[in-house]
Amino acid sequence: MLFDTHAHLNAEQYDTDLEEVIERAKSEKVERIVVVGFDRPTITRAMEMIEEYDFIYAAIGWHPVDAIDMTEEDLAWIKELSAHEKVVAIGEMGLDYHWDKSSKDVQKEVFRKQIALAKEVHLPIIIHNRDATEDVVTILKEEGAEAVGGIMHCFTGSAEVARECMKMNFYLSFGGPVTFKNAKKPKEVVKEIPNDRLLIETDCPFLTPHPFRGKRNEPSYVKYVAEQIAELKGMTFEEIASITTENAKRLFRIN
Ligand SMILES: [Zn+2]
Ligand SMILES: [Zn+2]
């Protein structure tokens, strides 16, 4: 059984063939999927999907790239929706310095507000970090994020950063990039992560793992991530599948 902890099945890329994508996930034993909403349309769609599919859960938050668009009403709306029993995390949230649509200051403010919200509603957080590791870690510390913990999604940082995050009750989630031929660092880092902090994800439709790199990603491909991690850790696929699924259930409090 596999657990894809980060999927955007609410994206328009699945408008025409969602049912087939879901069937393929099921035939590859993807038992549960967290669909991540990060703005008004994608959160709305994620909330619909958790009603339609018993094996789908939602994480809802505001993406740092669009931080400039988030209003107080949006934040209140996320808080209200988070009371749903199948909303299992707040996010994705964080900092993304690759794009400059939202200034760093705005991104930081929106990030801090969402950590505070997650603490209020007692839900773990899902962190998006691109080219902003130092500021992300500083803000997590300053805001006391260890009270809720969560996930560093699509983790590509160093073992040292991983250790700092684990001290704050975070799990490290690995996706397609760990399967890339030239991904020396993530492959080394995976070996150093204790089994009880490991998660897997697709971040589909993006970051498609080898051997489908460049094509649209989907939850059934999470098996390639599990296979790669199993190989790196010298464990069986079944062991990694079971460990990462148990970790996800524990973090998201799913029975
Ligand atoms: Zn992300
Ligand atoms: Zn994402």
Calculate mean pLDDT across residues 16-23.
98
Q: What is the pLDDT of residues 176-222, one digit of tens each?
A: 999 999 999 999 999 999 999 999 999 999 999 999 999 999 999 99
Q: Could you tell me if 176 and 208 are in contact, meaning their C-beta atoms sit under 8 angstroms apart?
A: yes
Question: Mean pLDDT across the chain, nearest whole number?
Answer: 97
Distance 92 CA to ligand 1 centre (A): 6
Name the token pair of 197. Answer: 């902090």
3-state SS, residue 115: helix
Selection from 156, 158, 153, 154 nearest residue 124 by Cα: 153
Distance 153 CA to ligand 1 centre (A): 7
To the nearest 10 degrees (0 to 180), the angle between helices 159-167 and 184-192 is: 40
Calculate mean pLDDT across residues 126-136.
98
Backbone angles phi, psi at 81, to 5 degrees: -65, -25
Which secondary structure element, helix H or strand E, spans residue 248, and what is its range?
helix 237-252
Distance 80 CA to ligand 1 centre (A): 23
Query: Residue 173's beta-bridge partner residues?
Result: 199
Distance 255 CA to ligand 2 centre (A): 24
Calculate mean pLDDT across residues 98-114.
97
Amino acid at the residue 222: V
Ligand-binding annotation for 203, yes or no, is: yes
Ligand-binding annotation for 92, yes or no, is: yes
Residues having C-beta closer than 5 Å to ion ligand 1: 92, 128
Ligand-binding annotation for 6, yes or no, is: yes
Calculate mean pLDDT across residues 94-105.
97
The predicted structure's pLDDT at residue 30: 98
pLDDT at 148 over 90: yes
pLDDT at 60 over 90: yes
Calculate mean pLDDT across residues 113-133.
98
Q: What is the side-by-side strand order in the sheet with 30-37? A: 2-7, 30-37, 56-60, 87-96, 125-130, 150-152, 170-174, 198-200
The predicted structure's pLDDT at residue 255: 85
Residues having C-beta closer than 5 Å to ion ligand 2: 203
The predicted structure's pLDDT at residue 47: 98
Distance 154 CA to ligand 2 centre (A): 8
Distance from C-alpha of 250 to C-alpha of 239, rounded to nearest angstrom: 16
Distance from C-alpha of 127 to C-alpha of 111, rounded to nearest angstrom: 9
Query: Residue 95's beta-bridge partner residues?
Result: 129
Distance 153 CA to ligand 2 centre (A): 8
Task: Calculate Rg over the CA atoms of the chain.
Answer: 17
Give the chain's largest Cα–Cα span: 49
Distance from C-alpha of 243 to C-alpha of 197, rounded to nearest angstrom: 9
pLDDT at 117 over 90: yes
Number of CB atoms found within 10 A of residue 230's CB: 17
Selection from 93, 137, 95 nearest residue 119 by Cα: 93
Residues in the chain, how many?
Answer: 255
The predicted structure's pLDDT at residue 226: 98
Ligand-binding annotation for 153, yes or no, is: yes
Judge if the upstream peptide bond of residue 177 is cis by omega within 30 degrees of 0: no
Place of tokens 């839900």: 123
Ligand-binding annotation for 122, yes or no, is: no
- pTM of the full structure: 0.97
With a pLDDT cut of 90, the percent of the chain lying above it is 100
pLDDT at 131 over 90: yes
The predicted structure's pLDDT at residue 70: 98
